[in-house]
Amino acid sequence: MSNILIIGVDGGATKVSAWEVVFDDKKRVFSMGKNHAEKKYSEITGFVANFQPVNIQQQLKERDENNINPNSEEKQQESVYVQACADVIHQVAAASEKSRILVGIGMPGLKTDDKRGIAVVANGPRMINYSDLLERLLRDSNLEMIAPVHHLGSDADYCGIGENYSDQGIFKDCENAYYLGGGTGVADALKLKGQLLPFDATKDWIAKTWEMKSSNGKSLERFCSAGGIQSVYSELSGVEVSELNKRQIYPLQIAALSLDAEDAAVKTMNQLVSNLGDLFISRITTLYSGWNNEFEFMNPNRPALSSTHEYKGMVFEKIILGQRLGDLYISEQGVKSLQEPLIAKIKSWISETNILDMQAKEHYNKIDSIIVTSKLREAPALGAGIDAFFSWQDFQ
């Protein structure tokens, strides 16, 4: 590994970031390196500013029929996204003395059959040739890849991988834990019986956060992601999100405004506490006793969840809050407006519920020490690099 540079890439909705990932062969752990880069897609020549995604039902239909036909704007936007990715990989590689690279990439959306492209995505272009185009750009610029991009991964899975294999990860010291990352969207990750368990492998008995409907009919994602919290405040305050961005009013500022008794901010934080508390209670009870039908689903045709699974009777050692949601939780503003009322809500439920037995109640009465925040701000990029390393090792 002395001359191999591992690069983890996190492809978001508006920008892409790349980080050097360092593997300690003696300790068998990974960490973030010093070199990183990011680029907004809008900085790339040819960016389609008014891009409109293809209707999601049409995307699914074409995927199911194995007949994906990206339109000209999607192809143009794909070239922009790929160029941005190539640029950040170049920047990280240029800052390193290592001459050979290994790249792992996390991207939103449903992947193509070969896992190297994007077949369905809610807010962006379908990019069925993403990996092929990226490899060509890197090859043409004389970067030596020691292996092709094995697959495009899920940022949620990569958060779990980062937490499990990083020197600062919290999963690595747990048998049973749940991770909730809140950035632009949400990331769910599980570790049970000492094994990482992707939510796609548990979909018959536990649902992803974005799938579940809150009491007001919106996805729970709105109350767990930084972008969602800002959009809730926008609706309650009557101020457009674009204007909030200009004023630099994000979740931390909304929490501060709530402490000053600003009405829309107070209502926003109250909704956040209520919905995040309901989500955590659902996670606790679903693991311990099976699904209790506490939420409806955003997709009314989603198959019903089973109330039985092989992990019943277990409890979470840790519930981990990551990314900007974690930052909010431990911030000076967030302690009073989010952390303390959330703990109080869950403790009140514990005292009243008959779902948990006394031993489980005693365990969760320490909920204020069970809920912790991740130390890995860039967990998706770290996990992408780690996954690339393991995939490469499997083929050695």
Q: List, for residues 221-276, the tens digit of each pLDDT value.
A: 999 998 899 999 999 999 999 999 999 999 999 999 999 999 999 999 999 999 99
Q: Looking at the predicted structure, is the pLDDT value of residue 59 above 70?
A: yes
Give 345-388 pLDDT, tens digit per residue.
999 999 999 999 999 999 999 999 999 999 998 889 999 999 99
The reply to whether 161 falls in a domain is no
Same domain for 91 and 145, yes or no, is yes
Same domain, residue pair 108 and 183: no
Does one domain contain both 281 and 184?
yes
Contact at 8 Å (CB) between 364 and 315?
A: yes
Asked if 18 and 138 sit in the same domain, the reply is yes
| Euclidean distance between CA atoms 241 and 388, whole angstroms | 36
- What pLDDT digit, counting tens, does each position of 181-207 carry? 998 789 999 999 999 999 989 999 999
3-state secondary structure 275-298: HHHHHHHHHHHHHHHCCCCCCEEC
Answer yes or no: is 21 within a domain: yes
Is the pLDDT assigned to residue 25 strictly greater than 90? no
Mean pLDDT, the chain, as a whole number? Answer: 94
Let me know if residue 313 belongs to a domain: yes
In a domain, 167, yes or no: no
- CA-CA-CA-CA torsion sign (394, 385, 144, 110): positive
Number of folded domains that form the chain: 2
Q: Are residues 347 and 330 in the same domain?
A: yes
pLDDT at 72 over 70: yes
pLDDT above 90 covers a percentage of the chain that reads: 86
Q: Which pLDDT does position 1 carry in this prediction?
A: 64
CA distances from 34 to 19, 86, 155 (A): 8, 19, 21
> Are 206 and 262 members of one domain?
yes
Residues 6 or more apart whose Cβ sits within 8 Å of residue 195: none
The domain containing residue 37 runs over which residues?
4-156+380-394
CATH number of the domain enclosing 39 = 3.30.420.40
Classify residue 165: in a domain, yes or no.
Answer: no
Indicate whether 114 and 128 sit together in one domain: yes
Share of the chain above pLDDT 70, in %: 99
Residues 247 and 353 in one domain: yes
| Sign of the torsion angle spanned by Cα atoms 177, 182, 183, 186 | positive
Task: Give 21 or 142, the one with higher predicted confidence.
Answer: 21
Q: Is the pTM of this model over 0.85?
A: yes
My answer on whether 114 and 73 are in the same domain is: yes
pLDDT at 395: 60
- Residue 358 covered by a domain: yes
Separation CA 81–CA 239 (nearest Å): 30
- pLDDT (0 to 100) of residue 26: 84
Instruction: Kindly tell me if the per-residue pLDDT of 394 is higher than 80.
Output: no
pLDDT at 12 over 70: yes
Whole-number Å distance between alpha carbons of 130 and 59: 17
Is the same domain home to 30 and 139? yes
Residues 314 and 360: their CA atoms lie apart, in Å, by 9
Same domain, 300 and 194: yes
pLDDT value at residue 300: 85
Q: Does 220 share its domain with 111?
A: no
Cα–Cα distances in Å, from 176 out to 171, 199, 236, 277, 313? 8, 14, 38, 19, 12
Q: What is the pLDDT of residue 290?
A: 97
Candidates 126, 187, 167; CA nearest to 321 is: 187
Domain assignment present for 315:
yes
